[in-house]
Structure 1
């Protein structure tokens, strides 16, 4: 009956729900004595690391709290958090099944009365929510994420004919070609990345760092807002790596993708020098970045060489930042009036400023000359008679 449908069925999230989520995402093993507790005191229990996942918990709460089922139906697609975790496990267990097959397998089966099957739109909404949490992307139709679009963050639709594996390839395409347009001008990454630190971007181009929980938005340069988005849920990525340490196929997200994100944060944007770390601390304390960014763990050290040599996922965005550093976009209306190319723009700007100064000086000189001529004329017309 319609009165059984709650407007926000997933609004309340308990510690037990978060513990179940951790077991679903990273297969955490809990000791059993910390059920429902915010954290576990036993170092051997995975729940002792729960405080590090505050950004993950916050995103989960925000996404689930916004879920609204179809109200005029007999059954909602999601009534509890357990329902959502079932879909996430199904996606994880069958990564090569098309989305439409996953929907049919979960929502349409002989055991379920056809009258109690949720509305198709609600089924898709539940699947999008599960994918958003599982893959750390904003998945779904654009009209369902109007608030995100207003902030300049794009959404990606998981089409019914795509499997989870194919969806991830579409969400995170590898760059097979050179990140730079000209191979002759293609410099080594080792010579570029030292210039792409957050402090350099901030100092030379005025770009600010902005946190994002959407993995697809990592290193996206927003020219209008003059910000670079940085994925800051790094604790979640580290747990994904840890969970897949024994079996690389057990990682939901591509390992190379995770390593590139961590490398671009820890080694490119915020290297170990004092000024960069001070900037990072300021972003954490004042601008909403997660505290885990301050923890640099050795678990990724063994993979950094291969990451830096390719940048298969984020090479294009790093190249765009480098191009912005070499040819800064105009910041003011005056600069926007000039050509986009940096050298020509500043040469024309200097010429125009020189012409403007010359015109001002000429006008002032003309005024002084006019005044002197008028004084001379008055002296000639009205000479002073000596007594």
Structure 2
């Protein structure tokens, strides 16, 4: 498809971001990062290296995208196979095209990759759920299966207090952790110890606009009720925003200059959402607020600060080879080396005495 026109962009923000395009303070220009993602998926070109690219006559117009996104919410009890057959009942299309298009629609409507790989790099927590929308699985069940296990991993709720060590600039400068933006909400706060990278979901404008849909609803609203509003649970959206602007990048707090500086660098180099640099209270923060979705990953980050990762490959090699058994072996070897060097010292001392005695004898 070709890039959306101004009118089509206004329709997109109204249906996918749930904002009135004629409002005084909001237009599609306030969602530039979101539209970059949208165009990278549905309007690919040779210069674009996006993970998902859809370029098929089966998907005819941008109105198709909006219609399919609405259908995801209205028919969330249907399986992926049933959903795509409903979409393309009157169009000739292949199974591969239907799978790619459904992936793209989920990606842009809910910022979730529903075809996630079946593995993660070495060192990742093996309890991370496999986020794949199966052909015989309903969309509602896919969302619940992908996100609810995160709550089980969090166990006791993690609060906003005592998170000063998790400021992004501290993670970068003290522990050598690199911040990487992601367009996939499921990867938010995912830490890769092998490459010392922390993924952050950077689409702040998307989070704010969707959170406004449920501003007057309970934070505990579930996935089924949220889909009726064509959005995700407010607790999930709110936690993501708070983890960005209260914990990693507290730009509104006193002494937030380093956070702002790091954000500007990330935005410039990675083309992240510029709205990261602005703070807004979308809804009231409860006094007893806890992280139910991202608590487990925040705990992982706290453990990293308590046991910092090695800063280079040499230190990493030593750490990998210094188990208790190896440490005992090294201690024994060290003991023998000490004894051997001590014996060499005695021999050298005796030789020096002999040489000195011979020299004295020759002199007399």
Q: Give matches, 1:272-291, under 5 Å.
A: 272-274=253-255, 275-291=258-274
For 1:316, the equivalent position in structure 2 comes to: 296
Q: Report the equivalent of 2:172.
A: 202
Q: Do 2:169 and 2:259's aligned partners in 1 also have CA atoms closer than 8 Å?
A: yes
Q: Distance in 2 between matches of 1:372 and 1:259?
A: 75
| Residue of structure 1 equivalent to 2:306 | 326
Q: Per the alignment, do residues 142 and 325 of structure 1 end up closer, same or farther by CA in structure 2, a change over 3 Å counting?
A: closer
Q: 1:354 to 1:264 in 2, by over 3 A?
A: farther
> Counterparts of 1:188 and 1:233 in 2: how far apart (Å)?
23
1:67 maps to 54
Q: Tell me if the contact between 2:236 and 2:293 (Cα under 8 Å) persists in the aligned partners.
A: yes
- Equivalenced residue count is 334
User: Is 1:336 aligned to 2:320, yes or no?
Assistant: yes
**Equivalences for residues 63-212 of structure 1 within 5 A:** 63-64=41-42, 65=44, 66-69=53-56, 76-108=57-89, 112=90, 116-140=91-115, 142=117, 156-173=131-148, 175=150, 177=152, 179=154, 189-212=159-182
Asked whether the equivalents of residues 198 and 276 of structure 1 are also in contact (C-alpha less than 8 Å), the reply is yes
TM-score of the aligned structures, taking structure 2 as reference length: 0.76
Specify the SS of the correspondent of 2:239.
Answer: helix
Partner residue in 1 for 2:35: 57
Q: Give TM-score scaled by structure 1 length.
A: 0.72
RMSD: 3.8
Contact 1:214 1:231 in 2 (8 A): yes
Task: Provide, for residues 41-84 of structure 1, a one-character-per-residue CA deviation record: whole Å limited to 9, x for no partner.
Answer: xx71632xx33312211211222222244xxxxxx421333322
Take 1:239 and 1:77, find their aligned partners in 2: how far apart are those partners? Answer: 30
**Can you give the 5+ residue segments of structure 1 that lack an aligned partner in the other structure?**
1-9, 32-42, 70-75, 181-185
Q: Aligned runs of 1:218-367 on 2, under 5 Å?
A: 218-245=188-215, 249-271=228-250, 272-274=253-255, 275-300=258-283, 302-306=284-288, 308-309=289-290, 311-329=291-309, 332-339=316-323
CA displacement 1:1-57 (0-9 Å, x = unmatched): xxxxxxxxx3645444433321221243334xxxxxxxxxxx71632xx33312211
Give secondary structure in 1 for the equivalent of 2:293: coil
Question: How far apart, CA to CA, are the structure 1 residues paired with 2:140 and 2:107?
Answer: 14
Q: Structure 2: state its 5+ residue gaps.
A: 45-52, 218-225
Shift of 1:381: 3.3
The verdict on how the C-alpha distance between 1:386 and 1:140 changes in structure 2, with shifts beyond 3 A counting, is closer
Superimposed CA distance per residue, residues 211-253 of structure 1 (whole angstroms, 9 cap, x where no aligned partner): 1111000011111111111111111111112244467642411
